Amino acid sequence: MHIPDGYLSPSTCTVLYAFTATAWYAALRRLKRVFAMRTIPTVSVFAAFSFIVMMFNVPLPGGTTGHPIGVTVAAIVLGPPGAILAVSIALAIQALLFGDGGITTLGANCFNMAIVGSLVAYGVYELIATGADISSRRRVIAAAIAGYVSINVCALFAAIEFGIQPALFHDAAGAPLYAPYPLRVAIPAMMIGHLTFAGLAEAAVSAGMVSYLQHADIGLLRGVGSRPVTELPVLESPRLSARLWWVVGLLMLCTPLGILATGTAWGEWSTKDLSARMQAAPAGLERLSSIWTAPFPGYAPSFIRSPLVGYFLSAMFAVGVFVLASLIAVSLGRRRVKTDKVLS
């Protein structure tokens, strides 16, 4: 579901960047300065969680692969604004450092997975879970359904974006300039895999995390993202997110399992692979495909011979970035608290 550079036209990317930038701005405004300082550690841990679970590829029909997103539990805990930012940060690091998704298409990927995913997951979860006790099984079922629905809506948006390209952007001879597959191909190709295995993977991750939090830290399920600033004790989030870092660490150790599924996700082929499928890659796609070269493409550092080790080290490096961001936020928060006490 990570759309690479070249698969969407520049105008499509611009429109989706505009929508996404508006959502980012609204999310940042929602998380006011004091509130954001207190929730940055929790946003960081959910960004890390989303990053890691997206490294677990599952085989899909047709020889392709898919992955969960982890957006549902982020939306439940942080609310849509926090989840939008957390998943967007994960997607940005994937694109910039590892070439998983494009730079020109980052707005589209964030729109599909972070924005649409967060809003749909939160809406479905609230619709089913409202009125249920925070520790009830209905909450777990609601999370599973929300995860399944959200990832499929995300996939549908991506399929539509792929599918409209040949109709809107082609040369004088009618040859597509960007993604070459029309809606009648793109929608079934994307949806069959997500309605089956990828959707079930997201449902399992969502339900499993909610069930875990019910036993390990039920306070998170009350919704950090929905509580006013005055109700949050100073630096509540670092304490609440501590157990989640253990989950992220455990998943990180298991990331080499993520490359056992063979094949490439549908619509994420390189120009070389696409040329082998259709004799020649579309001209616009080939031109934009090389606009950015990630330092560690494919989660495979060039100085590491073993793909399994390289995949694990990539996960470890990314998690380290998120941990560092969390520690910096905690440090800044404590300094601010001390300053406020001195001034008062």
CATH code, 66 = 1.10.1760.20
Residue 24 counted as domain residue: yes
Residue 2 counted as domain residue: no
- pLDDT band of 341, cuts 50, 70, 90: low
pLDDT above 90: residue 205 = yes
Q: pLDDT exceeding 90 applies to what percent of the chain?
A: 66
- pLDDT band of 282, cuts 50, 70, 90: very high
Residue 5 counted as domain residue: no
Q: pLDDT exceeding 70 applies to what percent of the chain?
A: 89
Residue 1 counted as domain residue: no
How high is the pLDDT of residue 277?
80
How high is the pLDDT of residue 234?
37
- pLDDT band of 224, cuts 50, 70, 90: low
**Mean pLDDT for the stretch of residues 11-22:** 97
**Mean pLDDT for the stretch of residues 137-153:** 97
**Mean pLDDT for the stretch of residues 40-60:** 91
Q: Are 2 and 154 in contact (CB under 8 A)?
A: no
**Mean pLDDT for the stretch of residues 288-297:** 93
Residue 207 counted as domain residue: yes
Q: Which residue has the higher pLDDT, 262 or 107?
A: 107
pLDDT above 80: residue 8 = yes
Q: Which residue has the higher pLDDT, 17 or 32?
A: 17
How high is the pLDDT of residue 153?
98
Residue 99 counted as domain residue: yes
DSSP SS3 for 170: strand
Residue 43 counted as domain residue: yes
Residue type present at position 259: I
| Length reported for the chain | 344
How high is the pLDDT of residue 227?
46
Decide: residue 200, CB within 10 A, 0-12 exposed, 13-18 middle, 19+ buried. middle
Name, of 6-10, 60-64, 212-216, the range with top average pLDDT: 6-10
Pick the range with the lowest mean pLDDT from 170-184, 208-222, 235-249: 235-249
Please list the alpha-helical segments (H only) found in 99-221: 106-109, 117-129, 137-163, 165-168, 183-193, 199-216
DSSP SS3 for 275: helix
pLDDT above 60: residue 58 = yes
Whole-model pTM: value is: 0.91
Q: Which domain holds residue 63?
A: 10-343
Residue 132 counted as domain residue: yes
Count structural domains, the chain. 1
Instruction: Give me 198's structure tokens.
Output: 């990828």
The C-alpha atoms of residue 111 and residue 261 are separated, in whole angstroms, by: 26
